[in-house]
Structure 1
């Protein structure tokens, strides 16, 4: 005769069995998951920084996770649109662009600064020994932006310059897309550009500081002449078509990385950030509005 305890045990066993079956179902469909990163730095830097993370995810999820090195920001957007990239690290504007153009994705994690804030800035670098003190001083000079879908390297700068009454493509001698934040800094270093926009978290961390630590540029060789208002930090996003249990496992893997593989997390941020926290698409609504505004600006030029 069945008693209450037996029924509870049977129900629990069925739940475990159903969960295992669901996991087997998604593993059959996804023998490999592709994780892509927008090119905030050059390819070798991305590989070095993110390979330990993909190895960690492979162990945690029980299926192969492959790192995809994108040539540009648009490649990540289009890879997720096509369903070829299951998980992606975006900048805010490239994520907003994906949302705006109907890519079926969900933000699930956001970067967190050491002080607990979830934002960063766009800054404009010039050489430390240059005479430039403001954007207005750069009339007729060459400006390096990063990528059309870069937040701190294009969209926020264009929005800010519009507020100043400046039309970049008329005001500067030349406006160049460098392709990555590192390339933009190197262009100023080599004299190809007189100034370059870049990302900057705070006095403890920025792209330029990372380049200094890697021996690619000297922090003291540059000076900031403009800093934007706070921009919401970058998200991680997965396809919204992924099975619910797979999404749950992905979230658990990212949010528990500090406990399970701190070295993999530290390789990405070099101890300069806290572990990711949950986020959703709604947090990026202001960025969607920003890029819509910038799109309209460019149509008018």
Structure 2
């Protein structure tokens, strides 16, 4: 037998002895069995400080929305002594899922996306901006000024730019408008139907001659005209809907009541606080006004006229749980 083998055996025996001594240092009480089928909270683990997450639906370019809303969340963070952050959503339908799965504390909702999420996740409206006497918006049917389109009959076989199936101005009102004029199926009536994804994109698709008719909300239309006055003479409004509440801050039913009341109080008193001047100016608003579900009656009347069941309505841009928003043409 080679001389180095006994040496190796001695090393192995010494190793086993040390391991047995190390294990023996523990009493049975020190050993805790772990059940892999059970999820336990780890004690004394530092938790992330509570943040209030406010969602924004993409009514216009995300960079513009960030510029408009960031001063408000900074003011709210300071006022309620709680970190408030913005969550920018990819589409109007996503906001509903975020509340169903408790991933948002609040959001600024368009009217139809509010109605959907109110039914599915019980969100509560608390306040909305008042734009110097106007705290509502309307859906528009617009064409280019040089267009030959003057009425619904002229629209047959043309290209229609909607916004999203979870919007009032960009989908629900056009459905109601065309149904009132005898058009039951948009895909059959128009040569091409597209979903722009935001109100400003719908307007720009019209200006770029990618569509013949567009269906934005009037607040975005007016904002674009204000920024680009020359565009006003290039566009013509053919119809406008009844008014519905402007984008309202709604809160999750799971938000702690004290925080909900702090948010509501801060918003409703913005116009009384000099420190809130920048936030209001950034939004182009004079103040916030209290908002309740009953303020949405015009919206609910339209939903009823179209025979829509909010509980069954497909709200998301996925074919497995909602709808596919690919453009359609014939």
Q: TM-score, normalised by structure 1?
A: 0.80
* Partner Cα separation in structure 2 for residue 285 and residue 77 of structure 1: 20
Partner of 1:218: helix, strand, or coil?
helix
Cα deviations by residue, 1:8-30 (Å, 9 ceiling, x for unpaired):
xxxxxxxxxxxxxxxxxxxx896
Say whether the 8 Å CA contact 2:244–2:295 is kept in structure 1. no
Q: Residues 159-193 of structure 1, C-alpha deviation per residue, up to 9 Å, x if partnerless?
A: 12111111322111111110000100010011111
Is this contact kept in 2: 1:135–1:226, CA < 8 A? no
Question: Residue 79 of structure 1: CA displacement?
Answer: 1.1
1:231/1:136 CA distance change after superposition, 3 Å: farther
Asked whether the equivalents of residues 127 and 222 of structure 1 are also in contact (C-alpha less than 8 Å), the reply is yes
Instruction: Give the equivalent residue in structure 2 for 1:143.
Output: 160
User: In structure 2, the residue corresponding to 1:224 is in which secondary structure?
Assistant: strand
| 1:53 equivalent in alignment to 2:72 | yes
Segment drifting more, 227-236 vs 290-299: 290-299
- The counterpart of 1:119, out of the listed 124, 136, 146, is 136
Provide closer, same or farther for how the CA distance between residues 216 and 193 of structure 1 changes in structure 2, counting only shifts above 3 A.
farther
Q: Distance in 2 between matches of 1:65 and 1:239?
A: 15
Structure number with higher helix proportion = 1
Deviation at 1:242, TM superposition (A): 1.5
How many residues are treated as equivalent by the alignment? Answer: 262
Q: What is the aligned partner in structure 2 of residue 221 from structure 1?
A: 234
Tell me, yes or no, if the aligned pair for 2:110 and 2:248 is still in contact at 8 Å. Answer: yes
**210, 214, 222: which is aligned to 2:223?**
210
Shift of 1:252: 1.2
Tell me the CA shift for residue 216 of structure 1.
9.9
Q: Trace 1:1-301 onto structure 2 (pairs within 5 A).
A: 31-100=50-119, 102-115=120-133, 118-167=135-184, 168-200=186-218, 206-215=219-228, 218-260=231-273, 261-269=276-284, 273-284=285-296, 286-288=298-300, 290-291=302-303, 293-294=305-306, 296=308
Kept in 2, the 8 Å contact 1:186–1:217? The answer is no
Name the larger-Rg structure.
2
- For 2:152 and 2:109, how far apart are their aligned partners in 1? 28
Q: Is the 8 A contact 2:242 2:298 kept in 1?
A: no
Pair 218,209 (structure 1): closer, same or farther in 2 beyond 3 Å: same
- Give the Cα–Cα distance (whole angstroms) in 1 for the partners of residues 202 and 267 of structure 2: 30
Between structures 1 and 2, the one with greater strand share: 1
Q: 1:195 & 1:130 partners in 2: Cα distance?
A: 9
Pick closer, same or farther for the CA change 1:216–1:113 going to 2, 3 Å: closer
- Residues 80-136 of structure 1 deviation map (CA, whole Å, 9 limit, x = unaligned): 221111111001100001123x21311111333433x54322111111111111232
> Do the aligned partners of residues 268 and 171 (structure 1) sit closer, same or farther apart at CA in structure 2, a change above 3 Å counting?
same
**TM-fit CA distance, 1:199:** 1.2
Q: Where do 5+ consecutive residues of structure 2 fail to align?
A: 1-46, 315-330
Q: Displacement, 1:294? A: 3.8
Assess, with a 3 A threshold, how the Cα gap between structure 1 residues 29 and 244 changes in structure 2: closer, same or farther.
Answer: farther
CA change 1:174–1:152 in 2 (3 A) is: same
Q: By how many angstroms is 1:295 displaced?
A: 6.2
Counterpart-to-counterpart distance in 1, 2:279 and 2:128? 17
* SS across alignment from 1:88: strand
Report the Cα distance in structure 2 between the residues aligned to 1:294 and 1:44, rounded to whole angstroms: 35
Q: Distance in 2 between matches of 1:136 and 1:30?
A: 58
RMSD of aligned C-alpha atoms?
A: 2.4
Given that 2:138 and 2:241 are in contact with CA atoms closer than 8 Å, whether structure 1 keeps it comes out as yes
What CA distance in whole angstroms lies between the structure 2 residues aligned with 1:286 and 1:145? Answer: 20
